[in-house]
Amino acid sequence: MGTNISKFVNKLRIKEDELLHKEDLKVVLLGKTGVGKSASGNTILGKGFFEESLSSRSVTSMCQKESSKIGRRWITVIDTPGLFDTNTPNKEITKEIAKCITLAAPGPHVFLLVLTVGRFTQEEKEAVKMIQDLFGEESSRYTMVLFTRGDDLRKTNIEKFVSSDRRLQYIIDQCGNRYHVLNNRNPEEQMQVTALLEKIDSMVAENGGSFYTNEMFQDVENSLKEELRAKHEAEMEKLKTTLEKERQKQDEERKKSEKEFREREEQIKEECKLSPISSTLRVTVGADRLTALNRSAFSGHISLTTAVRHCFTNSPSVNGFPLLAISLAT
């Protein structure tokens, strides 16, 4: 009976401990697919919570939150899907990654930007940029680079590896020069996790114990929306200017051809005046002239009303030239 009560009290204490310290430290893992985010989450929490795989396809497709008591406090890790999965567009993946903010409410203390000890390619660079864009400039205060595959370092060390690549150094600089390396092949080596947590703690202390908040995320979302709106407006303005220019060009072309028709009309009137025939004038014109005259007579653009009453097409031809009969007003 006594042992049952003490077991129950013990359980209650554990529950109380869990509830009191659940908020101790919240970590979000971010990065390209296959870099070892899930494996790192398992190493940090000391348990195989997250599915990890060698497969080229993305394994983690949704955010997952797990907690473990390490030493005297609770650590919560939020694993996220990896960018550049060949089967899912990055836009969809970033949408899912963004959910980590809600899962980490009131907010994560640290974003671990996961990279491997290996070649730093253009894709890696773009993945980092996408994450930075998603969480905004403010997030750099809460970000640390976490290298995996520490076992690949062999005779070199992480400092030498980092200093060998200027692009890597640049990214680490953007994260307040914070980085750490894990060997997930050796998760039993607790010292590597202790050292990581110490680095995170000093960053949290530098930030006055604060975390990345939902408001900061909303600010990034709003400024992105504003940027998109401004871009859309600029595009519409450009389109309007192009259409206006096109309209002006057509207007000028129309005026020019009207002028040409009017001049032609005047010329014909002059020709008619010079002719000795009083009521009917027979002229032989080329096919181009005929077309022009017919068009002018029927289109209504040019008025021949006082001088020319009718313009007949299909006139007989003389020596291969079509005959145009014009009846003059009397």
Ligand X SMILES: Nc1nc2c(ncn2[C@@H]2O[C@H](COP(=O)(O)OP(=O)(O)OP(=O)(O)O)[C@@H](O)[C@H]2O)c(=O)[nH]1
Q: In angstroms, rounded to a whole number, what is the distance separating the alpha carbons of residues 199 and 7?
A: 37
For Mg ion, give the closer residue by CB, 37 or 297. Answer: 37
Neighbours of 175 (CB within 10 A): 21
CB of 212 to Mg ion, least distance (A): 21
Q: In angstroms, rounded to a whole number, what is the distance separating the alpha carbons of residues 78 and 100?
A: 7
Q: In angstroms, rounded to a whole number, what is the distance separating the alpha carbons of residues 171 and 188?
A: 29
Query: Binding to Mg ion (CB under 5 A): which residues in 225-254?
Result: none
Q: Which one among 30, 38, 211, 283 touches Mg ion, defined by CB under 5 A?
A: 38
Q: Is 54 in the site for ligand X (CB under 6 A)?
A: yes
Alpha helices in 76-213 (DSSP H): 90-97, 99-103, 122-135, 158-163, 166-174, 190-206
Q: Which one among 28, 30, 59, 200 touches Mg ion, defined by CB under 5 A?
A: 59
For ligand X, give the closer residue by CB, 82 or 107. Answer: 82
Token representation of residue 330: 């009397």
Query: Binding to ligand X (CB under 6 A): which residues in 75-94?
Result: 81-82
Q: In angstroms, rounded to a whole number, what is the distance separating the alpha carbons of residues 47 and 189?
A: 13
Q: Which one among 27, 30, 37, 108 touches ligand X, defined by CB under 6 A?
A: 37
Token representation of residue 202: 């000093």
Q: Is 35 in the site for ligand X (CB under 6 A)?
A: yes
Q: Is 128 in the site for ligand X (CB under 6 A)?
A: no
| C-beta of residue 284 within 8 angstroms of C-beta of residue 323 | yes
Stretch touching Mg ion by CB under 5 A, among 53-61, 131-139, 213-221, 224-232: 53-61
For ligand X, give the closer residue by CB, 113 or 283. Answer: 113
- Amino acid letter, 68: S
Give the residue nearest to ligand X (CB): 82
Whether a cis peptide bond, with omega within 30° of 0, leads into 106 is yes
DSSP output for 172-191: HHHTTT-EEE--TT-TT-HH
Stretch touching ligand X by CB under 6 A, among 34-42, 135-143, 252-260, 288-296: 34-42
Q: Residue 58 binds which one of Mg ion, ligand X, none, with CB within 5 to 8 A depending on kind?
A: ligand X
CB of 144 to ligand X, least distance (A): 16
Q: In angstroms, rounded to a whole number, what is the distance separating the alpha carbons of residues 148 and 33?
A: 13
Token representation of residue 290: 């005929």
Q: Which one among 28, 63, 139, 149 touches ligand X, defined by CB under 6 A?
A: 149
Q: Which one among 27, 44, 59, 290 touches ligand X, defined by CB under 6 A?
A: 59
Residues found near Mg ion in the complex (CB under 5 A): 37-38, 59-60
Residues found near ligand X in the complex (CB under 6 A): 33-39, 52-54, 58-60, 81-82, 148-151, 182-185
